[in-house]
Structure formats: structure tokens, C-alpha cells
Amino acid sequence: MNDQMVIAEDDAVEEFRRENQTKEIWRRFKKSKGSLVGLFLLVIILLLVIFANFITSYDLAIKQDPSKILEAPSMEHPFGCDNYGRDVLARTIHGGRISLGIAVLATLCSCVVGSLLGAVAGYFGGVIDSVIMRTLDIFMSVPDILFTMAIVVAFGSSFTVLLLALTVAFFTNYVRLVRSQVLNLSEQDYIEASRAGGAGNARIIFSHILPNSIGVIIVNVTLNVAKIIIYESTLSFLGLGMPPPQPDWGLMLSEAREFMRKAPFLMFFPGTAIVLCAVAVNFIGDGLRDALDPHLKS
Amino acid sequence: MYIYIVKRLLFLIPTILGIILIIFAVMNVTPGDPGRAILGVSARQDEVDALNHQLGYDLPFLQKYVNYIKNIVTKGDFGISYFTKQSVFDEIWPRFVLTIKLALCGILLSTLIGVPMGIYAAVKQYSLYDTIPSLIAFFIASIPGFVLGMVLLYVFSLKLNILPSYGAKTIRHLIMPVFAISISAAAQNMRFTKSSMLESVRQDYVRTARAKGLPESTVIWKHALKNALLPVVTQIGLNLGLLICGAVVIEKLFSLPGIGGLIVDRISFKDEPVIIAGTILIAVCFTIVMLIVDLVYAYIDPRIRAKYSRTSTK
């Protein structure tokens, strides 16, 4: 009876603490105007991308109309038409679906793979750690773009291959980050206390190490989303990303390059879209870093 | 110190072998064989098989890997391109030199722009010398290199017509490409130097130096800066990876005959020997630069030097 009351009380305290922490983080986050602007921008972009089908149909993005080749922006086609007479507005919005979708998925994949490896390396140490870290050294000594090219050559370009390539290029960050977090935290007194109290590996990892390192991981994830957006557009620009005629910002820019003289507006819209997304995500990442990790604030 | 250098040099060998193994393994999954690729679709199957046998393609994977390395080490032979039927090494080397030139110019320019601005922004924190460059650096970090390159191309070649838009004949041809790949690295350098410098200004020894009554300039230049620049050295080395990545795209955009553009072009022809050799060359170059950075770091940081001289006497 008494025990139950204590537990209930603990839960209440815990709940109160959590609620307060979220509020505190939000308070610190909104202190910087940049992060609010970033959040606002990102929400608009996400709404446009999620409700793309209500704004303009996908057919418009791939339907070719020879009579409208390189048509300048007008009321009917606010962003103009490209070299196949396709509506650039529709292509930009639907392109965002592919570009951002891949970026988010690749971020999740690389985060999960990298964090798991890092946690295993840091927690178990010894031979396992050495094997993982030395292999990682080799991975890191090949510039990402070369790996990506090798993968695309081997498997051809498609959505899955692009996802794989981006994951391979970005998982290394998380391995190092999570490993150093785990190593750092393992030495803390409260972990020792918890172990002395009889907690097992799983409990220590899930209730102490993970919650304490989640802030740093979230900040890194956010900043990596921006990098992946940029990297994905670069790959598509090189023709290593999504195969045409899918609309994709990098691919659109690569096509626009040849018509730079006649139709500079073709490169303006997808280019601005990429930069806006990256700016928004970077602003949010910076704000989150200040909010979640006050020590890092400079 | 020597033990450290020797140890690092020895570790270079398994790293390079590992790089080649990974690239080789990825490429090995690709369907298609060299005999068919060289002789074309119309060739007879027995001729194709004979050529495959002659090239050692029908051997098991590990043996192919060992042979490949043996040929590189003993003869400097990277195989024959499927596409041009020329020796891969002859084709790659001049292009490799151009890419390295581009990357080194990029490192130089990005360091010269980024590091001093970062130091200045940290020293004058919260003034306009800090906020404006920091904001600009922040935006540049969100712009892909090729978008920047396209804007440069549009403004300086198409509109103002003062710089050539493609080729690599003269220095003038290289201005825009070098600028396009350096600018994002410069922004990164600036942000990194600034935070490293701010970190170092907060250290106890800087407070001690101030407390001793040293003039502010001595405190900043002699005490804070020296320590702040240590991590910056590593950052500059890491920039090479970024610059090579940038170079691949920029070479394509400005039609420069570099190795990155070559690899991208040959991807559609599945010209494996060129792709493998190019990738290996760049990766090895990157590894060596990272090694040099580590050695420089150990040399300029007395703490690391001390650690190794102590362990070596034991």
C-alpha cells in the first residue's frame, strides 16, 4: 500500500518534471528569432509538399506540352515551363516530395544504423569496439561522393539505391557521436550507482544513457537533414539520383543548366527551394542546439 | 615521436588495402564482364570468354583482388579502360593532377578567407564584425556548391561576360571553379575557428594571463589563438574531403577535364577500371593528407608529443 503510493507520487513528479522540461526547451528555443523563422518556413514547405496533390496535380509535373517549351512565367504557369513544356510550379512542389522524402528517410536510416553501431562499440568496448572503429576509419577515408558513385554504378540509380548511398555516406557521424556519448556517460557516477543498485545492461542503456544523449543526437539529426538535402540535390544534379522524368530539385537544376541563357528562371525556382529548405532546417538545428544543450552555446 | 610516425605510416597500408577491397567488392556485384564490354555486343561468346580468361576475370574474387594490387604495386598498371581501350593510368593521371590542383587552391583560399574572419569574429564577438559574417557564413552553409557555381556562371559569364564558362586552359578559367568550391569550405572554417577561439578565450590559462596584467593583444595572440588553432588544423584537413566532393560537381558544371568529371562521365558506360582506379587514387590521396594533418597536429601540440615521448621511453 505504502509502496504503491510512493510509486504514484514518483510518477507524478516524473510527469511534472517532463512537462516542465519540454516547456523549458520550448522557452529557450523560441528565444532566438532565427529558429522561429526556420520553423515557420519549414511548416509552410512541409504543408506545400504534403498537400501537393491538392495544389496541383502530379500529371502537370510530367505532362509534356511542345507548344509551351521554355515559356516564361505567366498567370497560367506562375513558374514558367521547362524545356519539355512541363509546368515548373508543379515540378517544384512535387519535386519537394521526392527530395525531402528521401532526405528524411535517409536521415532516419543513417541515424538508426550509426547509433546502434556506436552504442555497441562504446558499451561493449574491447575487440568489438576496435573492429567497428577501424572499419569506420576505412569508410571515412573514402570521400562520400566516391562511395555513392561506386554504389550507383553497381546497382543503377533508383529510390532504394539512393537511400542506401545516402545512408552509407552519413551513418559514420552517428557512430562516432553515440560512441563518445556512451563512453562519456558510462563513467558517470549515477550509472555506477544504478549498476550497484542491480540494473542490467538494457535498463542502463534505455533509461540512463539513451535519455541523456538524445539531445545531442536530435541536434545532429536536424543539422544532418540540411546536409542530406544538399547532398541529395548534388547527386541528382550529377545524374546519380532519381532517374528522369521524376521531378527532383537537383535533376531540375541539371536540366536548367543547358537553358541558362534563354530561361534563367528555370534554375531560379528549384535552386531557391533547396536553399530555403536547408536554411530553415539549419535555423531549427541551431535553435535546438541552444535549447537542448546549453553547454554548447557559444 | 618517431614511433608515432612509424605506427601511423604502417597503419596506412591496411587502410589503403581496405579501401581497395571495399570499392572492389562493390564493383564486383555489377553485372557484366570486361570481355563483353571491350569487344561489344556483336562479339562471339568464345572470344569474349577467351578475353575474360586472359584478363583474369574468371578467377575467384580474392584472387582478382590480389592480382589487381600486385599489378598496381609492381607495374603501376591499373588495367585498361573498357571505353577508350587505353591504359587507365595514362588517362587518369593528368586529370588527377588538375583535380588536386583545384582542391589545393580551394584549401588555400578557404583557409585564407575563413580562419582570419573566424578569429576576428570571436575577438569582436557581438559586434557587426561578428554578426554579419556569421550570418553570411550561415546562409552559405545552406547553399549547395553547384547552385553557387551556376549563379557565378550566370553572372560572370553570361551577363557580365568577363570570365570563360568552360575549359581549363588558363588561370582565368580556374577563378570561378576555385571560388565555387572554396566558398562553402571558407564558411565552415570561419564558423569552426570562431567557436574554437571562443572556447579557448574562456579557458583558465587565458584568465590567468589576463590576471597577470598582460596586454589584451598578447593574451589573444599568444595565449588564446595558439590553442584555438589546433583543432582548426584538423578541420582544414577534413576540408579536403569536402573540396574533392565539390570538385566532382564543379568539374562537371564548368566542363573541366578533372578526375571527378571523368568518373561521372564513365558511370553511364560502366567503365569499371577507370571508376575503380579514380576512386582509389582520390581515396589514397585523402588518406595521406589526413595522415599529414595528424602528424602536423602531433608536432605542434606539445601535449601529444609529450605523451609519445613518454611512452616510447618506457
Distance CA B175, CA B256 (A): 12
- What is the per-residue pLDDT for B124? 85
- What is the per-residue pLDDT for A110? 93
Task: Give contacts of A149 with chain B, Cβ < 8 Å.
Answer: 263-264, 267, 275, 279
Domain check: are A143 and A230 in the same one? yes
Contact A288, A214 (CB under 8 A): no
Read off the pLDDT of residues B137-167 as tens digits, 9 standing for 90 and up.
888 888 888 888 888 888 888 888 777 777 7
Contact B247, A144 (CB under 8 A): no
- Domain for residue B72, yes or no? no
Domain check: are A13 and A160 in the same one? no
Which CATH number does the domain housing residue B293 bear?
A: 1.10.3720.10
Which CATH number does the domain housing residue A66 bear?
A: 1.10.3720.10
Report the SS3 class of residue B87.
strand
- What is the per-residue pLDDT for B157? 82
- What is the per-residue pLDDT for B314? 36
Instruction: From A237, A147, A238, select the one nearest B282 (Cα to Cα).
Output: A147
Domain check: are A266 and A121 in the same one? yes
Domain check: are A24 and A43 in the same one? no
B146·A237 Cβ contact <8 A: yes
B199 in reach of chain A (CB within 8 A): yes
Distance CA A287, CA A145 (A): 29
Four-residue CA torsion sign, A182, B235, A282, B135: positive
B51 in reach of chain A (CB within 8 A): no
Domain check: are A26 and A47 in the same one? no
As given in the structure block, the three cell numbers for residue A173 are 557521424
- What is the per-residue pLDDT for A5? 59
State the residue range of the domain holding A11: 1-30
- What is the per-residue pLDDT for A9? 64
- Domain for residue B19, yes or no? no
Domain check: are A22 and A61 in the same one? no
Instruction: From B115, B75, B40, B106, select the one nearest B244 (Cα to Cα).
Output: B106
* Residue whose grid cell is 589514397: B284
Domain check: are A2 and A63 in the same one? no
pTM of the model: 0.82
A298·B22 Cβ contact <8 A: no
- What is the per-residue pLDDT for B312? 45
Identify the segments of chain A with pLDDT beneath 70.
1-18, 70, 75, 293-298
- Domain for residue B265, yes or no? yes
Domain check: are A238 and A172 in the same one? yes
Which of the residues A225, A235, A238 would you substitute to probe the B interface, choosing the one with the greatest number of B C-beta atoms within 10 Å? Answer: A238
Domain check: are A88 and A63 in the same one? yes
Amino acid in the structure at residue B138: F
Q: CA dist A162 to A157, A220, B225, B270, Å?
A: 7, 21, 42, 18
- Other C-beta atoms lying within 10 Å of the C-beta of residue B69: 15
DSSP A73: P
B253 in reach of chain A (CB within 8 A): yes
Distance CA B163, CA B172 (A): 7
Read off the pLDDT of residues A250-277 as tens digits, 9 standing for 90 and up.
888 888 888 877 778 888 888 899 999 9
A154 in reach of chain B (CB within 8 A): yes
A267·B282 Cβ contact <8 A: no
* Residue whose grid cell is 496541383: A56
A271·B26 Cβ contact <8 A: no
Identify the segments of chain B with pLDDT beneath 70.
1, 30-32, 168, 308-314
Name the domain count of chain B.
1
A271·B249 Cβ contact <8 A: no
- Domain for residue B263, yes or no? yes
Percent of chain A with pLDDT over 90: 4
- What is the per-residue pLDDT for B32? 66
Domain check: are A92 and A6 in the same one? no
- Domain for residue B184, yes or no? yes
Name the domain count of chain A.
2
Domain check: are A3 and A63 in the same one? no
A137·B15 Cβ contact <8 A: yes
Domain check: are A266 and A185 in the same one? yes
